[in-house]
């Protein structure tokens, strides 16, 4: 998984990200380029121009959009109408190439299948209405590493990775 969270593990408000951090967007691009992004329909519609991000295969979870491959969103994407359909689609994709990119409902449903989470931790509270699982309170995960402190536009943050503990 890859997510940016505030101090309360908040990830979004009113269908948008909490803050715009160019360094984090660059990190997200570098990590996910060439990979497969899994996202919910609301997150797709929050992207610039409501278009899938270039340079990545995009799979969108949705029951309201018709299934299969669509090209009418400005770039090709695939729609899966259930977690199970999505997991079947991913069977032959190497794990390291798969990035679950939100939002809350998709993070929540895919966490049981997830080995590690790249979490950008933002030092602030931004009144979120959507949240990521608090991995510090989740026994199945442990903090594997944290970057030096970053700062942009007066906002401090760190990149981090949480790994699933063995056998959990
Ligand atoms: N900080 C971050 O890293 C980050 C990353 C991504 C998103 N976000 C934020 O998260 C918020 C959006 O999260 P959200 O939970 O409201 O929406 P979401 O997870 O992006 O999308 C929800 C939609 O996904 C579809 N869906 C979910 N589970 C499904 C399933 N099992 N089968 C079929 N379709 C399924 C449904 O679409 P249909 O209604 O079409 O059926 C559902 O309405 C926004 O504020 C966004 O900016 C933050």
Residue 124 Cα to ligand 1 middle (Å): 23
Predicted pLDDT of residue 70: 85
DSSP 98-133: EEE---HHHHHHHGGG-SEEEEEEESS----SEE--
Nearest CA to 104 out of 164, 46, 23 is that of 46
Residue with the nearest Cα to atom 38 of ligand 1?
A: 62
Q: How far is the CA of 17 from the centre of ligand 1 (A)?
A: 12
Distance 133 CA to ligand 1 centre (A): 14
What distance in Å separates the CA atoms of residue 74 and residue 146, rounded to the nearest whole number? 36
pLDDT at residue number 112: 96
Query: Residue 67: which CATH number?
Result: 3.40.430.10
Ligand 1 centre from 40 Cα, in Å? 4
Start-end of H helices in the chain: 22-32, 41-46, 83-89, 104-110
Structure pTM? 0.96
- What pLDDT does residue 57 have? 95
Site residues for ligand 1, CB cut-off 6 Å: 3-4, 11-12, 15-17, 39-43, 46, 61-65, 81-83, 101-106, 109, 130
Q: What is the pLDDT along the chain (168 residues), one digit of tens a residue?
A: 999 999 999 999 999 999 999 999 999 999 999 999 999 999 999 999 999 999 999 999 999 998 789 888 878 899 999 999 999 999 999 999 999 999 999 999 999 999 999 999 999 999 999 999 999 999 999 999 999 999 998 999 999 999 999 867
What is the residue range of 121's domain? 2-164
Residue nearest to atom 7 of ligand 1 (CA): 103
Largest CA distance in the chain: 44
**Domains in the chain: how many in total?**
1
Q: Whose CA is nearest to atom 32 of ligand 1?
A: 82
């Amino acid at each position: 998984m890859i997510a940016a969270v505030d101090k309360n593990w908040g990830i979004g408000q009113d269908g948008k990200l909490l803050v715009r951090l160019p360094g984090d967007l660059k990190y997200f691009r570098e990590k996910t380029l060439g990979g497969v992004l899994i996202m919910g329909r609301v997150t797709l519609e929050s992207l610039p121009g409501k278009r899938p991000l270039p340079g990545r295969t995009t799979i969108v979870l949705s029951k309201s959009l018709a299934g299969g491959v669509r090209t009418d969103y400005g770039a090709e994407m695939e729609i899966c109408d259930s977690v199970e359909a999505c997991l079947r689609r991913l069977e032959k994709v190497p794990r390291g190439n798969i990035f679950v990119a939100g939002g809350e409902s998709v993070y929540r449903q895919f966490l049981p299948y997830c080995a590690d989470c790249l979490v950008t931790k933002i030092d602030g509270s931004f009144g979120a209405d959507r949240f990521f699982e608090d991995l510090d309170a989740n026994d199945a995960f442990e903090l594997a590493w944290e970057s030096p402190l970053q700062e942009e536009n007066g906002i401090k943050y760190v990149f981090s990775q949480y790994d699933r503990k063995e056998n959990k």
